[in-house]
Amino acid sequence: MRSLALALRRHPEWMVAAVLVVAVVTIGLINPVFWQPANIFSLLRASVITGILALAVLLVMLSGGIDVSFPAFAIAAMYLTVRAMVAWGFDGVLLPFAMATAIGIGLGLVNAAFVHYLRMIPLIVTLGTGTAVRGFILGVVGTSQINIDQMPPLLINFARQDLFTVTQADGSPAGLSAMVLLYAVIALLVHLMLRHTMMGRSIYALGGGEEAARRVGFNTRRTTFFIYGLAGALAGFAGLLHGAMIWTANPRDMVGLELDVIAAVVLGGASIFGGRGSVIGTMLGVLTLVVITNSLIILGVDTTWQRVVVGLIVIAATAATAWRDRKRIA
């Protein structure tokens, strides 16, 4: 048992990888439809948005905090950008994504200011900013959904590109969305930043202990603003991408998504006490969660069970993480 705990502490990715393999094999045995390319591709596509948001949550969790405001930020960036595009008759890809990312950064910096200067627990800060931003969008900007007929066509065309298409056994084509590649690139960049830059080391150091990080000479203020700014940027980007991928901009979207994303991140081995977690673990956690929740239908389980399953995953994953780190707390 002790050596297992040690192995898990060194390589937390193995645990979630094992869970993923068990889940995939079990689901595939129960219903072979799972292995059809169309299903696999749709699962990968479904993990893009959750995955990018999970990277944002990972950054905050590495520093010892938790973020529940990112769905509101994502929706704010998406809805404001699309509304602006419709109002000005503008269409494009790069500029809108830059705008959504910038909105996300701005909102993220507000979180950072509260967390750093006012020393308040991140959960409560982000609960406040998230609710305020959601209230602002719905109460001031508007509640109407922008549908496919009004959505900027270039934006939609960008998100519907496929990397490649294969022909399935029954002759129907199945394409892998190019957005999966985009997600992989973003994840790689975050991974490189965390593992090979001074900023990345300072994020882990901040999570290990703020006072210690400061004594060693890390600029904790800059690190905090970087973390929440980047988390906001990822949220804003993911928000617009989400709108482009489902061809609608709905200001009431993504309600409750924070729980799924946090579930995926803790499943990926990140510790809420900070300092522990990796991009690879998080990506595996996202994929595992997406595979399990999206396979309930082909397993013949009623979809009303989905929340119970997500909740049990959070409890099991956090209990496992707490067990792994039990020495640290005691």
Choices 28-36, 80-88, 125-133, 230-238 (CB under 8 A): range interacting with another protein: 125-133
CA 195 to CA 193: how far, in whole Å?
A: 6
Which backbone phi and psi does 124 adopt, to 5 degrees? -75, -35
Choices 82-90, 215-223, 229-237, 322-330 (CB under 8 A): range interacting with another protein: 322-330
Smaller CB distance to another protein: residue 170 or 302?
Answer: 302
Among 30, 120, 166, 185, binds another protein (CB under 8 A): 120
CA 135 to CA 22: how far, in whole Å?
A: 42
Residues 136-175 that bind another protein (CB under 8 A): 136-140, 143
Report helix angle 257-267 to 279-295, nearest 10. Answer: 120
Sequence-separated contacts (24+) of 114-120 with Cβ below 8 Å: 115/65, 115/224, 115/228, 116/220, 116/221, 116/224, 116/225
Q: Is 119 in the site for another protein (CB under 8 A)?
A: yes
Q: Name the minimum Å distance from CB 294 to another protein.
A: 16
Residues 231-290 that bind another protein (CB under 8 A): 259, 262-263, 266, 272-273
Helix extents (H) in the chain: 2-10, 12-30, 37-62, 70-88, 94-117, 122-136, 153-159, 179-196, 198-208, 210-216, 220-246, 257-267, 279-295, 306-324, 326-329
Q: Is 217 in the site for another protein (CB under 8 A)?
A: no
CA 269 to CA 301: how far, in whole Å?
A: 27
Q: Is 297 in the site for another protein (CB under 8 A)?
A: no
Q: Is 196 in the site for another protein (CB under 8 A)?
A: no
Smaller CB distance to another protein: residue 69 or 202?
Answer: 69
Cα 324 off chain centre by? 24
Instruction: Give residue 223's identity as a one-letter amino acid code.
Output: T
- Which two structure tokens, joined as six digits, stand for 115? 């967390």
Q: Is 82 in the site for another protein (CB under 8 A)?
A: no
Smaller CB distance to another protein: residue 5 or 309?
Answer: 309
Cα 284 off chain centre by? 12
Choices 4-12, 44-52, 89-97, 129-137 (CB under 8 A): range interacting with another protein: 129-137
Q: Is 305 in the site for another protein (CB under 8 A)?
A: yes
Q: Is 5 in the site for another protein (CB under 8 A)?
A: no
- Which two structure tokens, joined as six digits, stand for 277? 């977690």
Q: Name the minimum Å distance from CB 312 to another protein.
A: 6
Among 5, 43, 127, 296, binds another protein (CB under 8 A): 127
Contact 265, 319 (CB under 8 A): no
- Which two structure tokens, joined as six digits, stand for 8? 């898990």
Q: What is the DSSP letter of 35?
A: G
Choices 15-23, 89-97, 111-119, 158-166 (CB under 8 A): range interacting with another protein: 111-119
Q: Name the minimum Å distance from CB 265 to another protein.
A: 10
Which residues make up the interface to another protein (CB under 8 A)? 66, 114, 117-121, 123-125, 127-140, 143, 259, 262-263, 266, 272-273, 302, 304-315, 318-319, 322-323, 326, 329
